Amino acid sequence: MDKKNIIVKETDDGSKTFFVPSLDEHYHSVKGAYTESKHIYIDYGFNSFNLKKLSVLEIGFGTGLNTYLTAIEAEKREIKTDYTTLEKYPLSWSEINQLNEKPNDLYQTIHTSSWNHTIKLSPKFSLLKIQADYTKEIFNLPEANFDLVYFDAFAPEKQPNMWQEELFQRLYVIMKPNSRLTTYCVKGAIRRMMQRCGFEVKRLPGPPGGKRQILCAIKNE
């Protein structure tokens, strides 16, 4: 992915995101970056569990917004969270800092902490950022290891290699029983593909002012 000339865009809820001209794609919904992330990955992901310990896998670290919101929620709800995120093309802090009008120590630490090493960011939140190609690294992750997956890659029509069926078959293997995956993408082909992989797939209400629906894929066994 060519990150050159990425453009800062303000979204409808006042939060900012990036537009990537080479992909003709935004990192988040223009209807609201913060609103979208919180709704899909926190409200219908992290907060759907009533556990004292969670293992989370994020596909697509991007601007780090999902990581940041999860770290805050983990401390708030006192849930010990082991968070693993994959990103092939990390943005620099100087690029990310364009999104922030006010300094934020936690957000900066998330971005400036070392890659490929587990970092304890708070008493309840540990972060492992892996700089790697998801389509290959997914096969190196341990089986039955994750309670929750945030699938936040660019859209299938922009990065079809990220949405291959064999990769979702592998996701199913590395997820624990009674785990779930959440994503913004509701395309019929993606929904049916997840079902073929063994997931129970549900369409849920989308974020306020944004997409009408989102997807939740559940591994029941």
Instruction: Please tell me the total count of domains within the chain.
Output: 1
pLDDT value of position 2? 54
| Domain assignment present for 143 | yes
Point out the residues of the chain with pLDDT beneath 50.
none
Domain containing residue 58: 48-219
| Domain assignment present for 54 | yes
pLDDT value of position 24? 86
Q: What does the DSSP assignment read for the chain?
A: ---TT-EEEE-TTS-EEEEETTTTEESS-TT-HHHHHIIIIIITTGGG---SEEEEEEE--TTSHHHHHHHHHHHHHT-EEEEEEEESSPPPHHHHGGG-SS--HHHHHHHHSPTTSEEEEETTEEEEEEES-HHHHGGGSPTT-EEEEEE-PSPTTT-GGGG-HHHHHHHHHHEEEEEEEEES---HHHHHHHHHTT-EEEEEE--TTS-SEEEEEEE--
| Domain assignment present for 22 | no
pLDDT value of position 211? 83
| Domain assignment present for 15 | no
| Domain assignment present for 150 | yes
| Domain assignment present for 85 | yes
pTM to 2 decimals? 0.94
| Domain assignment present for 111 | yes
| Domain assignment present for 1 | no
CATH number at 163 reads 3.40.50.150
pLDDT value of position 1? 53
pLDDT value of position 3? 56
